[in-house]
Structure 1
């Protein structure tokens, strides 16, 4: 007979990791359900990291070289199309579609609001282990920023986004089990530290109440 009690998930969430990530195209890419798009994002980030960090390309130079290459390709295409009766080059409608730009802006706005709301909830101190974990993570990130460039941090961030959610979804039960045990131990340790600090606080003499 199966236990009707649902398993406890990390951070007390009830939704799947796919729903937490938005449940759309972004979630499919991060969880490698759309393998072509996921591989393209990973390869693209590696190419950008190689160009900016190894080759030491500047952004302006790279942008100018991309435009020069695109203009040469269009010039060759338009010249040969007159001789070989090729169809003229047309920009895909999805690039110029206003709805696509509005959708991207709306998604970015929604994700930014969700991120800020999460930061506010954590900052209120309702979950002390998560609060201190976030502070330590931000401090570690600030230290890394002193030794790594923005491009390298961006590449590492993309690498983590494309590996950690996928691995977590694959080994979700094991990760949740060990994370909950660790969370309980940290919570117990913080409570003991709070009690020890409160015991060291000096207290004045207790005045006896006068009885009549």
Structure 2
């Protein structure tokens, strides 16, 4: 009786899930097979966004910076869309005001006997320029490789996905201009990640059902239509 009483709490202890940081070896099969996760079993929203300062801003962990970004974007949108201010005019007026204030301040220090404003010397280092160029080069090369594979007819799913994405972009372009689209993107980036982080389980459950339904519909489409379309034979990649 004593032994069974001691074993009862251990049997009733909750099973930790991989989402709480438990590794695959320590988690039970029931926990590992919880369901469909958009970001994977071992990836949080913060980690998916890079895990750095940008992730903190998008998830509103740095409230002041997040509010400043959204507020600044809102002010710019109001200036350009509502007041119909022009970008070149705004940039010129800001530069005029800034240079005038600094010029008058620097000259006034001679009379009031105070130190002039400390204007830092800003330069783009060669290392930073090279890193930016390398990052852009890698992304551009990936895009070119993808476009070449689609042009050769190697991946029908990717082809359909790119066509749908481009069609959606074209429809969005018909509805709003670039500035409004950028403002909408800023708002989405500062609302969707935090909402997904808050309701991650519910969204994953819905995504699992949607994913299963899409896979079923694709199998039907592939059996009736896609499998009958002639495709170019895949070419072996040549080793360098």
Please report the TM-score for the alignment, with normalisation by the length of structure 2: 0.67
- Does residue 153 of the first structure (1) align with residue 181 of the second (2)? yes
* Change in CA separation of 1:108 and 1:31 when aligned onto 2, cut-off 3 Å: farther
Deviation at 1:60, TM superposition (A): 1.5
What are the superposed Cα offsets for residues 17-64 of structure 1, whole Å, 9 maximum, x if unpaired? 222221111111111111111111111111111122222222221111
| RMSD (Å), alpha carbons | 3.4
Distance 1:158 1:180 in 2: 27
Counterpart in the other structure of 2:217? 189
Counterpart in the other structure of 2:25? none
Distance 2:50 2:206 in 1: 25
Distance 2:228 2:117 in 1: 78
Contact 2:60 2:66 in 1 (8 A): yes
Counterpart in the other structure of 1:39? 67
Deviation at 1:136, TM superposition (A): 2.9
Distance 1:168 1:147 in 2: 26
* Change in CA separation of 1:75 and 1:115 when aligned onto 2, cut-off 3 Å: same
Counterpart in the other structure of 2:192? 164
Counterpart in the other structure of 2:94? 66
Distance 2:101 2:226 in 1: 73
Greater RCO, CA 8 A, separation 6+: 1
- Does residue 27 of the first structure (1) align with residue 55 of the second (2)? yes
Counterpart in the other structure of 2:42? 14
Deviation at 1:199, TM superposition (A): 9.6
Counterpart secondary structure, 1:91: coil
Contact 2:39 2:45 in 1 (8 A): no
Distance 1:52 1:60 in 2: 11
Greater helix proportion: 1
Counterpart in the other structure of 1:175? 203
Contact 2:58 2:194 in 1 (8 A): yes
Distance 2:72 2:130 in 1: 22
Question: How many residues are paired up?
Answer: 196
- Does residue 91 of the first structure (1) align with residue 127 of the second (2)? no
Please report the TM-score for the alignment, with normalisation by the length of structure 1: 0.74
Of stretches 77-86 and 24-33 in structure 1, the one that deviates more from structure 2 is 77-86
Runs of 4+ in 1 over 6 A off after TM superposition: 121-124, 198-201
